[in-house]
Structure 1
Amino acid sequence: MRAGTGAARLAMVEDNSAQLFNRIGHFLAEHRLSPDPRHYAFAYRVCSDETGPLAQAVASLTDGGIRLSSRDIEALGGEIGTLAVAASPENAAKKADGLVAQTQMQVDGFTDMMHAIRAETQDFGRDLAASADAIRESRDTVGIDEVVRLTGVMLGRVRSAETKLEEATHEATELRAKLEEARDNARRDPLTDLPNRRAFEEAYAEQAATGARLCVAVCDVDHFKMVNDRFGHAVGDRVLKAIGEALIKACDGHLVARYGGEEFAVLFSGVGLQVARATLEEARGTVAAKRYRLRESDEPLGAVTFSAGLTEASCEEILGTAFARADRLLYAAKHAGRNQVQTAHS
C-alpha cells in the first residue's frame, strides 16, 4: 500500500514538473527568448509562481501582446537571486530615476569643484608669475637664477594641471548631457518613441498646476489581440507605431503618449471638449480609412481602428480621477460598436 502511494506521489511530481517545463518552454517561445541560463531562470520564477508579484508584473508589462525584451527582464530583476515586490516596472523605474538623480548631483558637484580649482590655480599662477618678475628686478642676485628656475618649473606644473582640469570639466559636461538623455529615455516608450506613462503623468501634473484648460483621452486599438494572434507580434508592433504616428500628426501641439500595451493617451491643453473631440475624430478617421498590408507578402491586413474615451479635466482633480472617467467612456465606446469616440464633461 505504501509502495503504491509512493509511486502515485512520484507520478504526480513528475507530471507537475513536466507541466512546469512545458510552461517555461512556451514562455520562452512566446517572448522569443533564447534558452540561456538567465532567461530560463527568469522564466522558471514566473511560471513556478503564476500569482506571485513577478508574474503579475510581467502580465502588466506584456498586456496587449507586447513581448518581453532583455531590457525588460533586467528591469524586472532578471538576475538569479532576489524576487521581491520591488521587481514591478514602477519600482524598477523609480530605482533607475534615483540612481540617475544621485549621479547627476555628483556630476554637478564635480563640475563646480573643477571650476573652483581652475580659478584657484589661475590665481596661483598669476601670483607666481608676479613673484618671478619681482625676483628678477631685485638687486640681491644671490640664488636668484635658481629661484627663477624653480618658479618656472612650478608655473609649468600649474599650466599642466589647468589643462587636465579643463579636460576633466569637458568630460563632466559630456557626462551630464548623457545623463539628461538617459533621464529622457526613462520617460519614452522604446517601440513608438512616444512619451510613456510616467511622462504623461508628469505632464498632466505640470499643466494642472498652471490652471490650464485640460482634456484627457484614452485610446485603445480595437481587436488588437486578433492582429497579434493572426499576423504575429512584429506586425502588431508596426500597427502600434502607425497609430501613434497618426495621433501625433492629428494632435499636433498636444501630448500623445503610449500608456501601455495597445493603449494610448492624449493630453489636450488649452482647448475645450469640442475642439479636442474634433481633433481626435480626425485621427480616428485617418486610421480607419487606411488599409494596411503585410510588408513581407503584401497580403492585406484589413482595416485597423481604435476606440476612445475623452473627458474634460478640472485642474483641481488628480490624473487618476480624470483618467478613470475617460477609461469608462472608452469601454462605453467599445460596447457601442468600437471605432468611435465617447465624450463627457468633468
Structure 2
Amino acid sequence: MLFLAAHRLERTPHSHALALYALRHPGSALGQEVARRTDGGVRLTAMDVESLRPLLRAHEEARRGHGEWQRDLGVQAERLESLTSDARQITRDLTSDMAALSDGPGTADTTDIAGLLAQLTTRITRTERELATLSGSIVALRERIDAASREQDVDPLTGVMSPTGARSLIAELPDLGHGYVLATCGLDDRDDIVERHGRTVADNVLRTFVATLREACQGADIIRWQDNLFLVLLRGRPLSQLTLMMEAARTAMLARTLRLRGTGEPIGAVTLSAGIATGQGVPMAEVLERAEAFRAIATAGQGNRVVSRA
C-alpha cells in the first residue's frame, strides 16, 4: 500500500500484484525492471503498470511453475523409491522361494517352478511398465525446466541474449585462437525520449534500434548488457568488418522516421553511437572497457558516431 501511495497509483488488482511481486522478488526480471524505471525517484505511472503486465504474467507463471516442479519432483522421487523397493523385494522373494523349493522333500516340482517364474514375470513386467511411465514423466519435467531456463537467457523486451544467456559464450572468448571484435553501442538520446514521450515510447524505439542492429550485423551475437548498453560480438573476423556493420546500423537508424502511434507525430531523429575494440586471448571485460572508452568519445557532442581508434 505504501508503494502504491508513493507512486500515486490507483489500487487495482494489477497495480497491487505488481507492487507485491516487485517488492517480494527484487531479483526477478519484473523486480529489476521496476527498479530500473524508478531509479532516481521516478514514479511509476498507470501506463507503466499496463506495459509491465507481460512481465507480471511471466513472473506469476514462473512462480506457479516453480511450485509445480517441486511437487512433481517430490511425487516422482517417491514413486522411484517405491519402485526401487519393489525391485529389491522381487529379488528377495525369488531367493526365498527358490531356497524353499530346494530345501523341500525330494526334487522341486516342475509345476511349482513354472508357477514361481510366472509370478516373477508378472511382477517384473508391472515394475518395468511403471518405470517406463516414470521415465517419461521425468523427461517431460526436465524439458519444462530447460524451457524455463532458456527464457532467462533472452531479454524479454528486445528478444536478444541477456547477460545470463551469454555466459557460456563470454567464457569461451579468451580461448579463441582467432580472436574477436566487440562493439558497445546504445541510443544517444534514450533519456530524452523517456522524458518527452514516456517509457513505453522509449521501449518501442529501443525495439526498433535492436531490429536495426539485427539487419546490419548479421552473423554477429547481440547482447543487451544493461538498459541502453548493447554488445555486438563478432568472432574470428577483422575489426574493419564489424566497423562497417556498425556504420550501416548507424546510417539506417538515422534514416528511420519514427512516429508516435496515437498521433503520428514524428519523434525526430534517433541516433546511435558505438565503440569497437578487439581481443585475443583476453577476457571480455578487458575488451569491453576499451570499447566503452571509444564509445565515450563517440557520444561526445551530438553523438551519432562509431569509433574504433582513438
With normalisation by structure 2, the TM-score equals: 0.68
5 Å matches for 1:201-240? 201-240=167-206
Q: State the secondary structure of the residue aligned to 1:157.
A: helix
5 Å matches for 1:90-109? none
5 Å matches for 1:104-183? 144=111, 148-149=114-115, 151-183=117-149
Q: Kindly indicate whether residue 297 of structure 2 is the aligned counterpart of residue 297 of structure 1.
A: no
5 Å matches for 1:35-46? 35-36=15-16, 39=19
Distance 2:138 2:32 in 1: 40
Change (3 A) 1:166 1:248: same
Deviations 1:295-343 (A, max 9, x none): 3333322222111111112322x22221111112112111142111111
Please tell me whether the aligned partners of residues 200 and 255 of structure 1 are also in contact (alpha carbons under 8 angstroms).
no
Aligned to 2:294: 329
Q: Percent same amino acid among aligned pairs? A: 23
Question: Greater shift after overlay, 285-294 or 174-183?
Answer: 174-183
Please tell me whether the aligned partners of residues 61 and 260 of structure 1 are also in contact (alpha carbons under 8 angstroms).
no
Aligned to 2:160: 194
Aligned to 1:25: 5
Change (3 A) 1:33 1:282: farther
Q: Kindly indicate whether residue 250 of structure 2 is the aligned counterpart of residue 280 of structure 1.
A: no
- Residue segments in structure 1 that go unaligned for 5+ positions in a row: 1-19, 47-54, 74-98, 132-139
**Offset at 1:249?**
2.0
Of 269, 293, 306, the match for 1:341: 306
Distance 2:278 2:204 in 1: 31
Please tell me whether the aligned partners of residues 220 and 308 of structure 1 are also in contact (alpha carbons under 8 angstroms).
yes
Aligned to 1:320: 285
With normalisation by structure 1, the TM-score equals: 0.62
Distance 1:247 1:203 in 2: 19
Distance 2:8 2:235 in 1: 43
Q: State the secondary structure of the residue aligned to 1:198.
A: coil
Please tell me whether the aligned partners of residues 4 and 16 of structure 2 are also in contact (alpha carbons under 8 angstroms).
no
Query: What residue identity is the alignment partner of 2:305?
Result: Q
Change (3 A) 1:178 1:72: same
Query: What residue identity is the alignment partner of 1:36?
Result: H
Change (3 A) 1:141 1:273: closer
**Offset at 1:71?**
9.5
Query: What residue identity is the alignment partner of 2:158?
Result: T
How many residue pairs match? The answer is 267
